[in-house]
C-alpha cells in the first residue's frame, strides 16, 4: 500500500475548503478535478520538490513524495473508490470540498497561479468530461501530452552528447542503441515511450516541436 501524507490533509492542502483560493501552482483547478476522475495518484505538494525538472518521473517511480490525503478524501466525498489496489481507501471529510465543480468554482474566485495557456487547455479538457466522464483518463492523457512535449526540451543537451545518460531523465547506462535519429540525443525506453508518438523524434529543439 502506498503511503499517504497522514490521517489528515496538511493545513494548506488545496482540497480543503479553507485553502487559499486560486493558489494551485502551475495547474488549473480543472486539471486537479480531472485527475480525481481519472484515478490519478496525486502527491502531497509538501512532499515534492517542484524545482526539480524530473520531479514527475521521481514521483511516479516512488523516489519522492507521498499520496495527498486531501485528494483521497475528495474522492471519498464524491463516493469514488480507488481502482488502484495500492491506493488506500479513506473516509469522507467534511472539511474537504463535497464536489469537483465546487472545488473548481472556489479556486476561480481568488488569485490565479497558473498561466493563460494552462487555463484555456484545462477548461477545454474539463468541458469534455461533461458529456464523457468515463473518458477522463484519456482526456487527462491528452492534456498531459500537450503539456509534456515542450517541457522535455527545457534544458536540452547538445545533440550527440556521449555521457551515457538519457537527455531527459538522466538515467545512466545508455548506449548507441538509445540514440534518437531525429535529434541525436540518448533517450531511454521510458522517455521514448512517453513522447506523443512513442518515438522521441524532435525536429526543432528551439521551438519544442515534436515530429508527429
Q: What is the pLDDT of residues 156-193, one digit of tens each?
A: 444 555 678 887 788 898 887 777 755 667 778 777 76
| DSSP character string of 126-160 | HHHHTT-GGGHHHHHHHHHHHHHHHHTTSSPPPTT
What is the dihedral angle through the alpha carbons of 77, 81, 82, 88, rounded to the nearest 10 degrees? 80
Domain boundary residue among 132, 151, 170?
A: 151
In terms of domains, do 126 and 164 share one? no
In terms of domains, do 166 and 65 share one? no
Q: CA-to-CA distance for 59 and 66, rounded, in angstroms?
A: 8
Contact status, residue 41 vs residue 25, Cβ threshold 8 Å: no
Q: CA-to-CA distance for 105 and 101, rounded, in angstroms?
A: 6
Domain boundary residue among 108, 131, 151?
A: 151
Domain boundary residue among 151, 170, 193?
A: 151
Write phi, then psi, for 60 (nearest 5 degrees): -65, -30
Secondary structure of residue 4 in the 3-state scheme: strand
Residue 65 DSSP symbol: -
Secondary structure of residue 162 in the 3-state scheme: coil
In terms of domains, do 94 and 108 share one? yes
Q: CA-to-CA distance for 106 and 155, rounded, in angstroms?
A: 35
In terms of domains, do 52 and 104 share one? yes
Contact status, residue 116 vs residue 28, Cβ threshold 8 Å: no
pLDDT digits (tens, 9 = 90+) for 50-79: 888 888 888 888 899 999 999 999 999 999
In terms of domains, do 183 and 143 share one? no
What's residue 181's pLDDT?
57
Its pTM stands at: 0.68
Q: CA-to-CA distance for 177 and 149, rounded, in angstroms?
A: 23
Which domain, by its residues, includes 7?
A: 1-151
Lowest mean pLDDT among 33-37, 106-110, 147-151: 147-151
In terms of domains, do 12 and 117 share one? yes
In terms of domains, do 61 and 131 share one? yes
In terms of domains, do 95 and 108 share one? yes
**Mean pLDDT of the chain, nearest integer:** 82
Beta bridge partners of 210: 202
In terms of domains, do 19 and 105 share one? yes
In terms of domains, do 56 and 132 share one? yes
In terms of domains, do 80 and 133 share one? yes
What's residue 186's pLDDT?
77
In terms of domains, do 170 and 193 share one? yes
* Total domains, the chain: 2
Amino acid at each position: 500500500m502506498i503511503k499517504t501524507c497522514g490521517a489528515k490533509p496538511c493545513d494548506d492542502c488545496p482540497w480543503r475548503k479553507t485553502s487559499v483560493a486560486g493558489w494551485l501552482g502551475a495547474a488549473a483547478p480543472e486539471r486537479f478535478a480531472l485527475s480525481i476522475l481519472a484515478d490519478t495518484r496525486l502527491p502531497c505538494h509538501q512532499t515534492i520538490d517542484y524545482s526539480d525538472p524530473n520531479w514527475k518521473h521521481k514521483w511516479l517511480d516512488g523516489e519522492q513524495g507521498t499520496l495527498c490525503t486531501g485528494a483521497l478524501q475528495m474522492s471519498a466525498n464524491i463516493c469514488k473508490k480507488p481502482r488502484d489496489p495500492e491506493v488506500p481507501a479513506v473516509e469522507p471529510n467534511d472539511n474537504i470540498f463535497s464536489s469537483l465543480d465546487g472545488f473548481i468554482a472556489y479556486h476561480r474566485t481568488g488569485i490565479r497561479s497558473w498561466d493563460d495557456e494552462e487555463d484555456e487547455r484545462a477548461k477545454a479538457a474539463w468541458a469534455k468530461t461533461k458529456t464523457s466522464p468515463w473518458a477522463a483518463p484519456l482526456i487527462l492523457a491528452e492534456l498531459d501530452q500537450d503539456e509534456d512535449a515542450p517541457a522535455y526540451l527545457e534544458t536540452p543537451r547538445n545533440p550527440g552528447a556521449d555521457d551515457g545518460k538519457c537527455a531527459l531523465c538522466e538515467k545512466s547506462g545508455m548506449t548507441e542503441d538509445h540514440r534518437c535519429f531525429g535529434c541525436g540525443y540518448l533517450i531511454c525506453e521510458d522517455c521514448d515511450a512517453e513522447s506523443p508518438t512513442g518515438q522521441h523524434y524532435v525536429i526543432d529543439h528551439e521551438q519544442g516541436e515534436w515530429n508527429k
